[in-house]
Homo-oligomer: A and B are copies of this chain.
Amino acid sequence: MEHGFEATSLRLITTAAGVNLAAVNYHFGSKEELFQAVLTRRLDPMNHDRMQLLSAYEIAAAGKPLTCEKILAAMFIPALKLARDYEQGGKNFLRLLGRAYADPAPFIREFLSNQYREMIARFRSAFSRALPHIPREELSWRLHFVMGALSYTLAGADMLKIISQPHPEETTNDELLLKRLAPFLAAGLRSPSAPSSVEDDGNHLFQEA
């Protein structure tokens, strides 16, 4: 999380863990495989929880489409649960994950793509039922924005130092953070999908550029 994958040495890791340097290659094979194991251990259960929670909501809704807030809750709650798991450094893991999202190393991207494929498909169809008037393609974009905002927000608590005047005590309160993010995203998801329609106050975005 602090240095990124390529700049984090196995010697740093193994001495911090109190084990021998060669243990990594013996047990995991290589640095890359160790990294994948680190991600899988927490990401796999989290995404599993997300899908399970979404299914529970859908069953409780008895066929009616879920609200965007409910679907977002199914995404956020397992992430929050993980962030609260202090015994296993949960918040640090989410930051690590956020950095991995931005890492263009092919083995990382392919790994994440495989890890997320099933979950994304489930949530896409849930949003599709919740927002039947939004075209498929537009919805893909908005799902992209949601995932980006979520991972960015969870990953970059330090970003607040750039954006904001100081918020003394709140910085580490992830629950409050997500309580503010979810309505923000829900409003964006529900916004009318009409890039071609008439304007109301004369601002064609980007048309003067």
Query: Chain A residues in contact with chain B, CB under 8 A?
Result: 1-4, 6-7, 67, 69-70, 72-73, 76-77, 80-81, 95, 98-99, 101-105, 109, 112-113, 116-117, 120, 137-138, 140-145, 147-149, 151-153, 155-156, 158-165, 167, 175, 177-192, 195, 201, 203, 205-206, 208-209
Q: Least Cβ distance of A199 to chain B in Å?
A: 9
Which B residues are CB-close (under 8 A) to A195?
179-180, 183
A178-B206, A188-B185 known; A161 and B109 CB under 8 Å?
yes
- Asked if residues A163 and B179 are in contact (CB atoms below 8 Å), the reply is no
- Asked if residues A206 and B140 are in contact (CB atoms below 8 Å), the reply is no
Which B residues are CB-close (under 8 A) to A201?
67
List 9 tightest A-B contacts by C-beta distance, closest first. A6-B7, A187-B191, A148-B152, A184-B188, A188-B188, A102-B102, A140-B164, A144-B163, A187-B187
Q: Which of B137, B138, B158, B203 meets A104, CB within 8 Å?
A: B158
Q: In the complex, what distance in Å separates the CA atom of A138 from the CA atom of B191?
A: 20
Which B residues are CB-close (under 8 A) to A3?
6, 104-105
- Asked if residues A76 and B109 are in contact (CB atoms below 8 Å), the reply is no
Given contacts A3-B104, A145-B181, 18 further A-B contacts (CB under 8 A): A2-B104, A3-B6, A4-B6, A6-B7, A67-B203, A70-B203, A72-B205, A77-B209, A80-B209, A99-B102, A99-B103, A101-B102, A113-B161, A142-B180, A148-B149, A179-B205, A182-B205, A184-B191
